[in-house]
Amino acid sequence: MGSEQDCIFCQIASGELDTEFVLETDTVVAFNDIAPAAPTHVLVVPKRHLGSVAELGPGEQELLAELIDAANAVASERGLDASGYRVLTNHGADAGQTVQHVHFHVLGGNALGPLG
């Protein structure tokens, strides 16, 4: 696992990589995925480093609510309200987590089909 110092999402969230944000608040940023799995594929990440969703436990309710609010705002801004969208996160290698910084995927723009 990577450390906070070499975390690509920390670098993006801090503005170090000059990534264009779809949405930015004091604590959360959202940006387009570089390898989209759907016509809309936006990542929503906290600016503060947390390794995965498993670290969003007691005391992190406010941040979790902000992440979900940001995901919903992105979906609304992209016009996905009527057709539907998926918000998901992964924890660990078996789930497909490739960046060790909690992030939520907002996917939509076509029929996504069932998971599994």
**Does 97 map to a domain?**
yes
Identity of the amino acid at 90 = N
The mean pLDDT of the chain is 93
| Annotated active-site residue in 49, 101, 103, 105 | 103
Rounded to whole angstroms, how far apart are CA atoms 89 and 83?
A: 21
CATH of the domain at 50: 3.30.428.10
| pLDDT over 70, % of the chain | 97
Number of domains observed in the structure of the chain: 1
**Does 116 map to a domain?**
no
**Does 21 map to a domain?**
yes
Rounded to two decimals, what is the model's pTM?
A: 0.93
Say if residue 29's pLDDT is above 50. yes
Say if residue 96's pLDDT is above 60. yes
pLDDT given at position 1? 45
Q: Residue 50 sits in which domain range?
A: 4-108
**107's tokens:** 């996917």
pLDDT given at position 99? 95
Rounded to whole angstroms, how far apart are CA atoms 104 and 32?
A: 12
**Does 22 map to a domain?**
yes
Counting Cα atoms < 13 Å in the Cβ hemisphere of 15 gives 5
pLDDT given at position 5? 73
| Residue 101 annotated to the active site | no
The residue count for the chain:
116
